[in-house]
């Protein structure tokens, strides 16, 4: 019993929670749990307070954001009316900003925290390191990214046109 207590004190339960969380992210589907450790090594954690801006429309994107806890709003400025309207809300387990992993292009929307939010950030340079250092993980990640982009494009094309 004492030995188990010592082991419990040594072991960080939070890491297990994070690995379980990453297992449920669509982007990491197909990556084995023990390989997710390498993905976790490449992720950067950050907490944004309620109301803080993550990025603004037009900023050059450099990272993908995975929401671990909290809620993020994505808003776009309408060119005609110059008014900002929320186009999506991102909940825990979802991600946004994936275009930054492919091209360092201006963001197409503004993201801000609707409540205190903890995110994981995957930078393009870290993903490239994964691609070279761990090709098995990198290839799976790239394939999943392509599938997600394809699904989003299909949804956009099949979306009924607004009169």
Partner 1 sequence: MATDTQTKKNYTQFLLPAFIGVALVYFVVLAKAAIFPFILSAALAYILSPVIKYFEVRGIKRTFAVAGLYIGAGALVFMVVYLLFHFLSFEIESLQQSWPEYAKRMQEFVVRNNDKLVKNYPFMASLRLETKLDHLLEAAPQFLLGLLPALSLLFIVPFITFFMLIGGTSIIDYLINHLPSRYAELILHIASRIDASLGNYLRGILTESFILFLIAFTGLLIMNLDYAAVIAILIGISSLVPYLGAIVGAVVSSIVAYLQFGALMPIIKILAFFTGLRFFDDWFLQPYIMKKAVKLNPAIILLALMAGLEIGGFWGVLFSIPVTCIIKEILQIAVELQETEFRWKPKPEPTRISIPYT
- Residues of this chain that interact with partner 1 (CB under 8 A) are 9-12, 15-16, 37, 40-41, 44, 46-49, 52-56, 59-60, 62-63, 103-106, 121, 123, 125-126, 129, 132, 150, 153-154, 157
Q: Tell me how far apart the alpha carbons of residues 82 and 36 are, in angstroms, rounded to a whole number.
A: 42
Minimum distance of partner 1 from residue 10's CB (angstroms): 5
| Minimum CB distance to partner 1 smaller for 62 or for 76 | 62
Q: What tokens appear for 143 in the block?
A: 């394939």
Q: Tell me how far apart the alpha carbons of residues 93 and 123 are, in angstroms, rounded to a whole number.
A: 18
| Minimum CB distance to partner 1 smaller for 88 or for 153 | 153
Closest by alpha carbon to 45, among 61, 69, 24? 69
| Minimum CB distance to partner 1 smaller for 103 or for 115 | 103
* Angle in degrees, CA 60, 62, 64, rounded to 5: 120
Minimum distance of partner 1 from residue 17's CB (angstroms): 11
Minimum distance of partner 1 from residue 26's CB (angstroms): 20
Minimum distance of partner 1 from residue 82's CB (angstroms): 19
| Minimum CB distance to partner 1 smaller for 86 or for 105 | 105
The structure tokens 């393009």 sit at: 124
DSSP label at residue 114: S
What DSSP element (H or E) covers 57? none
């Amino acid at each position: 019993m004492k030995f188990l207590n010592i082991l419990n004190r040594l072991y960080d339960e939070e890491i297990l929670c994070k690995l379980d969380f990453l297992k449920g992210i669509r982007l990491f589907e197909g990556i084995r749990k023990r390989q997710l450790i390498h993905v976790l090594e490449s992720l950067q954690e950050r907490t944004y307070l309620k109301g803080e801006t993550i990025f603004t429309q037009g900023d050059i994107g450099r990272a993908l954001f995975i929401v671990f806890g909290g809620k993020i709003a994505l808003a776009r400025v309408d060119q005609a009316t110059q008014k900002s309207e929320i186009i999506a809300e991102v909940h825990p387990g979802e991600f946004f900003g994936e275009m930054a992993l492919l091209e360092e292009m201006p963001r197409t929307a503004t993201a801000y925290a609707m409540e205190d939010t903890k995110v994981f950030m995957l930078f393009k340079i870290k993903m490239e390191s994964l691609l070279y250092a761990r090709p098995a993980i990198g290839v799976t990640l790239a394939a999943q990214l392509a599938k997600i982009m394809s699904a989003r494009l299909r949804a956009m094309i099949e979306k009924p046109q607004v009169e």
